[in-house]
Structure 1
Amino acid sequence: MQLRKKTLEAVRLNSAHKKKEFSCGEKALDDYLKTQAGQDQKRNVAVCFVLAEDDGTIKGYYTLASDNINRENIPEARRKAMPYKNLPVVLLGRLARDQRYKGTDIGHWLLVDALKQTMTISKTIGIMAVVVDPLHEKAAAFYEKFGFVKLRDTNRMFMAMETIRDAFKGDDKGEREKQ
C-alpha cells in the first residue's frame, strides 16, 4: 500500500487559526500575529499567510505587502537598467515559525511559498524584487543563504524577480509535499 503525503498549503489568516498559541521566540513577531495581523488584512495593508494544522494550530506565517525602494540603493549592475527613482517591490514583512516545529524546515518552506506567491502576483502587476527587513543578523544570515543581497545604505535585503523566476523554472506550486 502506498501512502500519499499531504500537500502543504499556506492560506490567509482567519478566525479558525489559533493565534494565541503561536510562539516563535521573537516577541515582536508573536505579538504581531496575535494582535495586528488580522487588522492589517482588514485594512488591506498586508496579507498574512499561515501554514496550519487541521485543528488550526499555526506552524508558521509570513506577510506580504506592496512597497517601493529607491533605485540608488540597488546594486549598480541592476541600477543601470531601471528607469525610475522608486521601484515597485513586494515586502516580505514578517516570517516566523513556531518553536514547536523547530528543525522541520518550515521556515524554508514559508520563504519558498512567499517567493512563489510573489511570482504569481508579478504576472499581474509590476514587481522588480522581493524585499525583507531582517530583525537581526541571524535573520539576515537566513535570507542571505537563499540568495537575498543587502541594499546599499540600508539594513534591507532584496532578491530580484528574475532571480526568483530562474530559481523556480519548471517547478509547480502544487508539487510541494508535507515535511
Structure 2
Amino acid sequence: MIVVPLSDRHDHSQFDCGESSLNLYLQRCAGQHDRRGFGRTYVAVTEASDSVSGYYTISSGSIAFETVPKVVHRLQL
C-alpha cells in the first residue's frame, strides 16, 4: 500500500468507507477542491492497482457549518 496525491488515474468508483458523506466527497468534490486549491487529497492504493482503498484531505482552513448562509447549505459542491 502506498499513499499518493489523488489524480485522474485513480479509480474511486468502488470506494465505500461506510460513511456516505465521505464517499460522496471523494467521488464528487475531492478532485475539484484539489484543482481550486481548497485542499489536497491523498489516496491509499496498492502498487499494482489504482483502485482507492482509503483517503485523507488536508485543508489550510475550515468553516463552521453554522456560519455558512442557509442558501449555501443547499448547493451541491
TM range (shorter): 0.7 to 0.9
Pairing of 1:30-179 with structure 2 (within 5 A): 30-53=23-46, 54-67=48-61
For the aligned residue pairs, the C-alpha RMSD in angstroms reads: 1.3
**Which amino acid in structure 1 is aligned with residue 20 of structure 2?**
K
Runs (4+) off by over 4 Å: none
Q: Is the partner of 2:58 in helix, strand or coil? A: strand
Q: Which runs of 5+ in 1 are unaligned?
A: 1-7, 69-179
TM-score, normalised relative to structure 2: 0.73
Structure number with the higher strand fraction is 1
Q: Which amino acid aligns with 2:5?
A: R
Asked if 1:17 is matched to 2:10, the reply is yes
1:62 positional shift: 0.2
Per-residue deviation, 1:9:
2.9
Q: What SS is found at the alignment partner of 2:61?
A: strand
Please state how far the C-alpha of 1:56 moved relative to its aligned partner: 0.7
Identity of aligned residues (%): 33
Q: Which has the higher contact order (CA 8 A, sep 6+)?
A: 2
Offset of residue 50 of structure 1: 0.4
* TM-score, length-scaled by structure 1: 0.33
Instruction: Name 1:127's counterpart in structure 2.
Output: none
Q: Aligned to 2:8, what secondary structure does the other structure show?
A: coil
Q: How many residues are treated as equivalent by the alignment? A: 61
